[in-house]
Structure formats: C-alpha cells, structure tokens
Chain A
Amino acid sequence: MSYQEKRTLMSIITSVLLMVSYSIYAFGQAGMEHINDLQFWAKTILVFIGIGIVVLIILQIVFHILMAISKAIRQKLSENEVDEKEIGRSMRVETTEDEMDKIIEMKSNKFGYTIMGLGFMAGLIAIAFGASAVAMLNILFFSTWMGSLIEALMQIRYYRKGIQ
C-alpha cells in the first residue's frame, strides 16, 4: 500500500470515528435537550469540525514519524546501519505530490461535490416539507461528511485501479 493510500485510509478512519462520536453526542441526551436550539447545533458542529482538523494534523505528524521509523528499522535490518540522508530522500520520493495525485484529486473531488450538492438539495426539500432548520443543518453536515468520505474512497479506488 502506497503512502497516499495509507494517508487517505487514515483520514477515512478518522472521519468515520468523528462522525460516530458526533452522532452519539448530538443524537443522545444533549441533542434531545436542545432539539430546536439552532445555536447549540451550530456550536456542536463547529467544535466537531475543529476537533477533526486538529486530530488529522496530529495523526499526519505521527504517521510521518512512524513511517520514518519503519524505514530506519528496515534499513537497519537489511544493511546493518542507518543512513539518515537515504531515509530523508526516500521519504521525499514517497510523499511528493505530483501530476497523478492532482488528477486523482480532481477526479474524486467531482464525486464529493456531487454528494454535497445532493445533500443541499435534500436539505432544501426537507425545509420545503416542513422540517426544522436543525434538521437541514444536520442534513448539510452529514452530506458534507458523506461527500468527503466518498471522495476519499474514490481516491483509494483510483490509486488501486489506476486512471486511463
């Protein structure tokens, strides 16, 4: 599995875990107590987005450190010495973002935006049929999350199957 696939997989797992914790918190006791309090929901969503960004940054750093350590161990086992310059070079080659990454990103973004657009439509339809603003906010949040999840899954698919 390549660096890009591992990184994408890591962000998928993080976002799923965050969505599960959001659902447990928001649709549990706290959410039921503020069922029509738009301010509560806006604050909760903002806090979870913030947590998501911080967790992702921390995991990226940890991931890079672990990757460098695993390269050093492998080098030590095969050559009995650790060449820091070689590890640095190897890390650069693995993590370089090039034209293929950009094309894959663009292609998978299309899927993400489509899901988000559909979510926006679903939110409008929900309001039109008498749902509350809180329901629309949750539909928008869920569709944004689903859009980024599909986008990440498509990225893995393109890395695996290739793009022609």
Chain B
Amino acid sequence: MPEKLEITNNIRTLRFFAHEMTQQELAEKAGVSRQTIIAVEAGKYSPSLELAFRIADAFGVPITEVFSYTK
C-alpha cells in the first residue's frame, strides 16, 4: 500500500493577499458551501481535483501555489 501523502494548502495566505477575501466569497467563486471551504482550509478535507482547480482559479494562481504535499 502506498504511503499516505500529507496535503497542505495556502488558502488562508492567498485569501489574505486577495484583499482579505472571505470564506463565503471563496465558497461562492468555487461553487461550494462555506463549510467545505472551512474544512479544506483546515486540512480536514482533501478536495477533488476539480474543486482544487476551481479554488486555484478563484485566486488566479496555478494549483501548485494553493496545494502542496509532503511524503
């Protein structure tokens, strides 16, 4: 069985640099509920590839700037 990757994200930092974008605004842009954004930001939920791209798109940055992983 492959070892589990630890996925981390920079959503809080990116929200700060996007004029302190609220979680609600990000949720609206990504088309999900605020609860889901809270869970993703806290690392409690790893989003699908589609949602990950939509979050990156909301900030206008490549996906690798939002999510990263450590082995």
Contacts and interface: CB of A to CB of B under 8 A. Distances in A.
Nearest to A2: B35
Chain B's interface size range is 10 to 19
B34 interface: yes
B70 interface: no
Contacts, number: 56
B62 interface: no
Interface residues of A, number: 19
Contact of B28 (A93, A95, A101, A161): A93
A96 B27 CA distance: 10
Contacts of A4: 33, 35
A99 B34 contact: no
Interface in A117-164: 159, 161-164
Interface in A62-94: 89-90, 93-94
Contact of A100 (B24, B28, B31, B32): B32
B61 interface: no
A96 B31 CA distance: 8
B21 interface: no
A164 B39 CA distance: 10
B44 A161 contact: yes
13 contacts: A2-B35, A3-B33, A4-B33, A90-B24, A93-B34, A94-B34, A94-B35, A99-B51, A100-B35, A100-B47, A159-B39, A163-B45, A164-B45
Interface of B: 24, 27-28, 31-36, 38-39, 42-48, 51
Given A93-B28, A162-B39, 7 more contacts: A89-B28, A94-B35, A96-B32, A99-B32, A99-B47, A100-B35, A164-B46
